[in-house]
Chains A and B, each alone.
Chain A
């Protein structure tokens, strides 16, 4: 895995959080999907977001990316409040992937990444029409960058393949490459390892570390708690729209409330399961993967 030559510019935050959610509440009619969720994402950090199905994880992502307007509360990037439009949020520097892969299936891998370059390219309609030297330069630069990103996620040889023909795991990687093409400072990954086998999950973990090493902060939603606990610097547990626990992986793993939220088991069983879960987590490359289906 070679790092892209032009690593996205690191933020100029001076120690403050790069992404901050303050009291984000999302109300759908009578349903309170998110209640007063606050967290800070520091520069170069990987945050894991876990919780049972329907806990509001994806809703939170949608609030962070401007797809939903939170009923109350605010989201800010480097202290600047984010606009209510996914396109503008992406331009500001937050990129995301989707829980159900949402590539552009009839475009090639390279074209998918080129679409990601959209916000960082300048081409007037007239130059698109005439294909002048300036247009050609911008197009060539975008292609070079796309090639780097495809190599970075390990899809270099598939650049001319249609996205829909790629194997499932590669589609997930391509989605990450496409998101990286927008030169984000924060990357939101919605279940990046759903449906992957142990090897692919490990490769994804390495990929996310490599992304972090480029100076990009990452938020990951995942049901695979083992994956989350070995990947993240901090873990947030969301249950029924409320932030239940927040802390380091070890802290969260040991918290009986988390296990209860996930398993709903009586206390004495909680103890037992907690030990077995921890034991499996420490076995390297163990076959045990999921608490919860994708």
Chain B
């Protein structure tokens, strides 16, 4: 074992000071051959894409006709991951030869995409085929596509590092406002198609399609590689700055894109339902982001507020209200649910006056458990217990039930599209509420409390009421989402509001990025799409969540979409990322010394 780096130092490009480790020496020795390595990696990727990947047929499932065995076996069949690999290979070859800025960094992104595709599909075939034989040689049939591709990915990575990883370029192009807006529209339309492709890749999971998980993960790996390469090119940062210049326009176009999702490949009932559920959890995650992300109060029982909203709506719209011949309009039900959830939020928030940190987490955890148990026991006959509350009527507007299929201008839209559109608007409103609150006296007070509660008090912030406000606002947003959830699913059961859901929501907030709106939405999307896609890994769901969170905390503690400040900081100083929190600790230690 050689020591590669002193403890705590970043492993990537290192100054000439400490003695280089084995890897560093290897990279240095490969230096002159960087172009050859890159080119060879690219070529090998192309070859890997065209080789057969599995030595035998994989369709042993209950629906052999639907199994995508051709996908893995047939050589020269350019479908699925094969065309992604072809694209990556060509891109690597071009980058090996053409003088593109920051090409080492770009190639690195591609390399990890190639490695990801090879590993995901290789592992899948190995597991399904019962051993390493499935991806190498058995009885005369040869299938080394996965191995060759993995090797290709490693070669590209080595070549990229041997040639040097350049700093990310910063583009400062400016065009006329309408040109920039046109660019944004093009980018957002592409994003819409990527989202639709991600949702539909691998098709619907479950027994009918045992390959969906692998196909989806492979697509995700390719997407990640492409994303990393684009990010390395500095173009994404440029688009982000352009979007910042045309903020309102961007938001409107993004909203339009979200509304246009039903027109894409994802426009069928199944994906509309999945997307609407994601919307519910995204709205809830944004609410939680007020409590956890802005005010820094760890709430482990937050999903209870979603439950309270849902149960209130279920009682107001369902059989209970019908008995008294009360028929409230949906909008009113929603407001009442939100208000009641918000009141509970204030009640739960009140212990925060007394407890901090870990102790607060325990109090909220207990609240979440109390909620589930009481709901399970059908308290006051309000929650239906284990029978749940069924038969909540669909939302109706102008005589159209929201679950119906509708046609607009001759285009037949999938069933459930109205719910999808409604949740898009709700999420948009919740986002607006969040960002407005964040940019106000109240929002700054929340952040100040998160940063340093004693200093906040010394600045005249009455921490008690302000913290209760955080709980109240967060719970209100969750209550909104809960009312929608109740009407959408038609049945509300305590089963939907267990501790796991709270943990998933917190994970969504942390994964996406604390205190940011896109982060919460992205986190919620990921954490609710992945289980949908990876049904075959359902038993390992929490294990995988845990692993993902550990990886995020290790490699990207600020989350997938960091705060605006952090973005600004990165944009200003792309080469040198200070360890988050490190400098503060340093200056404090300095004072204490």
Q: Which A residues contact B (CB, under 8 angstroms)?
A: 65, 67, 85-88, 90-91, 95-96, 98-108, 111, 114-119, 121, 123, 125, 128-131, 135, 138-139, 142, 160, 162, 164-165, 168, 171, 178-179, 182, 194-195, 294
For the complex with contacts A107-B444, A123-B441, A194-B591, 12 further pairs of A-B residues with Cβ separation under 8 Å are: A86-B460, A98-B458, A101-B587, A106-B565, A107-B447, A107-B451, A108-B565, A115-B456, A123-B440, A128-B440, A128-B441, A128-B443
CB-contact partner of B459 in A88, A116, A135, under 8 A: A116
Residues of chain B within 8 A of A125, CB atoms compared: 442, 469
The distance from the CB of B203 to the nearest CB of chain A, in whole angstroms, is 42
Interface string of B405-445 (1 = CB under 8 A from A): 00000000000000000000000000001001101111111
Residues of chain A within 8 A of B436, CB atoms compared: 128-131
User: When the two chains form their complex, are residues B448 and A107 in contact, meaning their CB atoms are under 8 A apart?
Assistant: yes
User: When the two chains form their complex, are residues B591 and A294 in contact, meaning their CB atoms are under 8 A apart?
Assistant: yes
**Could you give 25 example pairs across A and B, Cβ below 8 Å?**
A65-B458, A95-B458, A98-B455, A98-B458, A102-B452, A104-B448, A106-B565, A107-B444, A107-B448, A111-B447, A114-B444, A115-B445, A115-B448, A115-B461, A116-B459, A118-B448, A119-B459, A119-B461, A131-B440, A162-B565, A164-B581, A165-B578, A179-B459, A182-B459, A294-B593
Known: A104-B452, A164-B583. A129 touches B437 (CB 8 A): yes
User: When the two chains form their complex, are residues A86 and B458 in contact, meaning their CB atoms are under 8 A apart?
Assistant: yes
Nearest B-chain residue to A293, judged by Cβ: B593
User: When the two chains form their complex, are residues A119 and B460 in contact, meaning their CB atoms are under 8 A apart?
Assistant: yes
Chain A to chain B: the 4 pairs with minimum beta-carbon distance, closest first: A119-B460, A90-B460, A128-B440, A104-B451
The distance from the CB of A189 to the nearest CB of chain B, in whole angstroms, is 13
User: When the two chains form their complex, are residues A104 and B445 in contact, meaning their CB atoms are under 8 A apart?
Assistant: no
The distance from the CB of B199 to the nearest CB of chain A, in whole angstroms, is 33
Nearest B-chain residue to A99, judged by Cβ: B591
Residues of chain B within 8 A of A96, CB atoms compared: 458
Residues of chain A within 8 A of B590, CB atoms compared: 168, 195
Interface string of B488-517 (1 = CB under 8 A from A): 000000000000000000000000000000
User: When the two chains form their complex, are residues B455 and A195 in contact, meaning their CB atoms are under 8 A apart?
Assistant: no
The distance from the CB of B557 to the nearest CB of chain A, in whole angstroms, is 12
User: When the two chains form their complex, are residues A102 and B455 in contact, meaning their CB atoms are under 8 A apart?
Assistant: yes
User: When the two chains form their complex, are residues B569 and A165 in contact, meaning their CB atoms are under 8 A apart?
Assistant: yes
User: When the two chains form their complex, are residues A90 and B459 in contact, meaning their CB atoms are under 8 A apart?
Assistant: yes
Expressed in whole angstroms, the Cα–Cα distance for A140 and B299 within the complex equals: 34
Nearest B-chain residue to A92, judged by Cβ: B460
The distance from the CB of A146 to the nearest CB of chain B, in whole angstroms, is 11
The distance from the CB of B426 to the nearest CB of chain A, in whole angstroms, is 16
User: When the two chains form their complex, are residues B441 and A121 in contact, meaning their CB atoms are under 8 A apart?
Assistant: yes
Known: A160-B568, A162-B565. A104 touches B447 (CB 8 A): yes
Residues of chain B within 8 A of A65, CB atoms compared: 458
**A-B residue pair count with CB separations less than 8 angstroms:** 127
Q: Does B246 contact A (CB under 8 A)?
A: no
Q: Does B454 contact A (CB under 8 A)?
A: yes
The distance from the CB of A135 to the nearest CB of chain B, in whole angstroms, is 7
User: When the two chains form their complex, are residues A118 and B583 in contact, meaning their CB atoms are under 8 A apart?
Assistant: no
Residues of chain B within 8 A of A164, CB atoms compared: 581, 583-584, 587
Residues of chain B within 8 A of A101, CB atoms compared: 587-588, 591
User: When the two chains form their complex, are residues A100 and B584 in contact, meaning their CB atoms are under 8 A apart?
Assistant: no
Nearest B-chain residue to A116, judged by Cβ: B459
Interface string of B554-581 (1 = CB under 8 A from A): 0000000001010011000000001001
Q: Does B462 contact A (CB under 8 A)?
A: yes
CB-contact partner of B454 in A102, A105, A107, A168, under 8 A: A102
Q: Does B463 contact A (CB under 8 A)?
A: yes
The distance from the CB of A223 to the nearest CB of chain B, in whole angstroms, is 13
> SS class of chain B's interface: helix, strand, loop or mixed?
helix
User: When the two chains form their complex, are residues A103 and B458 in contact, meaning their CB atoms are under 8 A apart?
Assistant: no
CB-contact partner of A118 in B459, B578, B587, under 8 A: B459
The distance from the CB of A48 to the nearest CB of chain B, in whole angstroms, is 20
CB-contact partner of B588 in A100, A115, A182, under 8 A: A100
User: When the two chains form their complex, are residues A182 and B460 in contact, meaning their CB atoms are under 8 A apart?
Assistant: yes
Residues of chain B within 8 A of A139, CB atoms compared: 440
Expressed in whole angstroms, the Cα–Cα distance for A142 and B444 within the complex equals: 13
Residues of chain B within 8 A of A98, CB atoms compared: 455, 458
Known: A131-B436, A194-B591, A195-B591. A103 touches B455 (CB 8 A): yes
User: When the two chains form their complex, are residues B591 and A118 in contact, meaning their CB atoms are under 8 A apart?
Assistant: no
Expressed in whole angstroms, the Cα–Cα distance for A131 and B259 within the complex equals: 26
Residues of chain B within 8 A of A142, CB atoms compared: 441
Nearest A-chain residue to B464, judged by Cβ: A87
Residues of chain B within 8 A of A91, CB atoms compared: 460
Q: Does B7 contact A (CB under 8 A)?
A: no
User: When the two chains form their complex, are residues A87 and B591 in contact, meaning their CB atoms are under 8 A apart?
Assistant: no
The distance from the CB of B430 to the nearest CB of chain A, in whole angstroms, is 12
The distance from the CB of A139 to the nearest CB of chain B, in whole angstroms, is 8
The distance from the CB of A67 to the nearest CB of chain B, in whole angstroms, is 7
The distance from the CB of A191 to the nearest CB of chain B, in whole angstroms, is 9
User: When the two chains form their complex, are residues A100 and B592 in contact, meaning their CB atoms are under 8 A apart?
Assistant: yes
User: When the two chains form their complex, are residues B457 and A86 in contact, meaning their CB atoms are under 8 A apart?
Assistant: yes
Residues of chain A within 8 A of B459, CB atoms compared: 90, 95, 115-116, 118-119, 178-179, 182
Expressed in whole angstroms, the Cα–Cα distance for A127 and B583 within the complex equals: 36
Instruction: Report B453-477 residues with CB < 8 Å from chain A CB.
Output: 454-463, 469
Residues of chain A within 8 A of B444, CB atoms compared: 107, 111, 114-115, 118
User: When the two chains form their complex, are residues A90 and B458 in contact, meaning their CB atoms are under 8 A apart?
Assistant: yes
Known: A107-B451, A195-B591. A118 touches B440 (CB 8 A): no
User: When the two chains form their complex, are residues A87 and B462 in contact, meaning their CB atoms are under 8 A apart?
Assistant: yes
Expressed in whole angstroms, the Cα–Cα distance for A139 and B469 within the complex equals: 20
Expressed in whole angstroms, the Cα–Cα distance for A165 and B588 within the complex equals: 13
Known: A115-B444, A119-B460, A128-B440. A106 touches B588 (CB 8 A): no
Nearest A-chain residue to B565, judged by Cβ: A162
Expressed in whole angstroms, the Cα–Cα distance for A178 and B451 within the complex equals: 15
The distance from the CB of B584 to the nearest CB of chain A, in whole angstroms, is 4
Residues of chain B within 8 A of A67, CB atoms compared: 454, 457-458
Residues of chain B within 8 A of A123, CB atoms compared: 440-442
The distance from the CB of A217 to the nearest CB of chain B, in whole angstroms, is 18
User: When the two chains form their complex, are residues A171 and B587 in contact, meaning their CB atoms are under 8 A apart?
Assistant: yes
Expressed in whole angstroms, the Cα–Cα distance for A65 and B291 within the complex equals: 28
Residues of chain B within 8 A of A168, CB atoms compared: 587, 590
Residues of chain B within 8 A of A294, CB atoms compared: 591, 593
Known: A86-B457, A123-B441, A130-B436. A165 touches B583 (CB 8 A): yes
Residues of chain A within 8 A of B461, CB atoms compared: 87, 115, 118-119
Residues of chain A within 8 A of B437, CB atoms compared: 128-129
Known: A118-B445, A130-B436, A168-B587. A106 touches B458 (CB 8 A): no
The distance from the CB of B286 to the nearest CB of chain A, in whole angstroms, is 14
Expressed in whole angstroms, the Cα–Cα distance for A165 and B582 within the complex equals: 10
Known: A99-B591, A107-B447, A162-B569. A118 touches B455 (CB 8 A): no
Residues of chain B within 8 A of A162, CB atoms compared: 565, 569
